[in-house]
């Protein structure tokens, strides 16, 4: 059920019976010379729509601009400050709770959002408003991702390339796959990212001249379909699990006994 396509009475009928919502989040940022800036939010929305269609759970419109300052040197990248992002997500999440939602899955496809979504979830849980959790698609199927790509990459690599080939193949510049590979960093072990135990990079171009990692020529639409199906299954399982949990079991545990075992 896509929230934006419903009427308010139809949504009233939904929250009379259900209290779970799914929110897709991505970014608008560079993904190399071969992928669109929309890559992350396209993946997040496609997975969220697929899983909510299968579970009849509410799906909101996607969040398209997020925490991406580390890609700012590349044309077109848009971002907001981390605090602004956290406050914005918390605000619309509380808006959902006003309408009767008490559990939320943030379907995330951008690594820069992860820690901030976790923090928002902590805030909402702390005052027992809602239980909100972050889900990152590739982290739900790590063994599959590792097994089908020899040189994977955390950004603009073959996994994201394959996913967009499956979701929106017309947006992939297939004639630039070799350029993406040759102008980026194929093997992450070759990156000089630490000195004496300290991480010495902040921005994407510190490690990759064209902003991407891995071997993009290893991506195919068939591999993208395999990833999409496997990740969708994981998201469906998560939604069904969350929907089944008693709300009180999702809330924080009580303060520990100050003197456990003592007699009073």
Helix (H, G, I), strand (E, B) or coil at 125: helix
Distance from first CA to last CA of the chain, Å, rounded? Answer: 54
Mean per-residue pLDDT over the chain, rounded: 95
For 213-234, what is each residue's pLDDT tens digit? 999 999 999 999 999 999 999 9
What are 175's two structure tokens?
């004639």
| Residue whose C-alpha is closest to residue 20's, from 250, 246, 242 | 242
What are 228's two structure tokens?
């999409």
Q: Are strands 103-108 and 58-59 parallel, antiparallel or unpaired?
A: unpaired
What structural domains does the chain harbor?
3-250 (3.40.50.10310)
38, 43, 45, 47 alpha-carbon torsion, rounded to 10°: 180
> What are the backbone angles phi and psi of residue 15, rounded to the nearest 5°?
-75, -10
For 16-63, what is each residue's pLDDT tens digit? 999 999 999 999 999 999 999 999 999 999 999 999 999 999 999 999
**pLDDT of res. 148:** 96
Q: Are strands 131-136 and 103-108 parallel, antiparallel or unpaired?
A: parallel
Distance CA 66, CA 77 (A): 10
For 153-163, what is each residue's pLDDT tens digit? 989 999 999 99
Task: Provide the H-helix boundaries in 57-187.
Answer: 82-98, 114-126, 142-148, 158-168, 177-183
| pLDDT band (50, 70, 90) for residue 95 | very high
Distance CA 124, CA 130 (A): 5
User: What is the value of pTM for the model shown?
Assistant: 0.94
């Amino acid at each position: 059920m896509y929230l934006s396509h419903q009427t308010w009475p139809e949504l009233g009928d939904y929250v009379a019976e259900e209290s779970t919502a799914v929110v897709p989040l991505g970014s608008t940022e560079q993904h190399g010379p071969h992928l669109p800036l929309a890559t992350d939010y396209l993946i997040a929305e496609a997975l969220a729509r697929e899983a909510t269609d299968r579970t009849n759970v509410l799906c909101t419109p996607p969040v398209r601009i997020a925490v991406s300052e580390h890609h700012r040197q590349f044309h077109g990248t848009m971002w907001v400050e981390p605090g602004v992002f956290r406050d914005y997500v918390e605000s619309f999440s509380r808006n959902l709770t006003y309408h009767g939602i008490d559990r939320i899955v943030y379907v995330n496809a951008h690594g820069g959002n992860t820690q901030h979504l976790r923090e928002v979830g902590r805030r909402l849980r702390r005052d027992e408003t809602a239980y909100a959790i972050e889900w990152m698609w590739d982290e739900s199927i790590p063994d599959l991702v590792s097994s089908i790509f020899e040189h994977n990459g955390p950004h603009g690599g073959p996994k994201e390339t394959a996913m967009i080939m499956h979701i929106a193949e017309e947006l992939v510049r297939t004639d630039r796959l070799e350029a993406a590979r040759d102008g980026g960093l194929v093997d992450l072990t070759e990156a000089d990212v630490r000195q004496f135990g300290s991480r010495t990079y902040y921005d994407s171009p510190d490690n990759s001249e064209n902003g991407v990692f891995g071997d993009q020529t290893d991506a195919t639409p068939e591999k993208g379909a395999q990833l999409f199906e496997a990740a969708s299954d994981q998201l469906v399982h998560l939604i069904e699990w969350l929907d089944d949990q008693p709300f009180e079991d999702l809330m924080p545990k009580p303060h520990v006994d100050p003197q456990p075992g003592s007699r009073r």
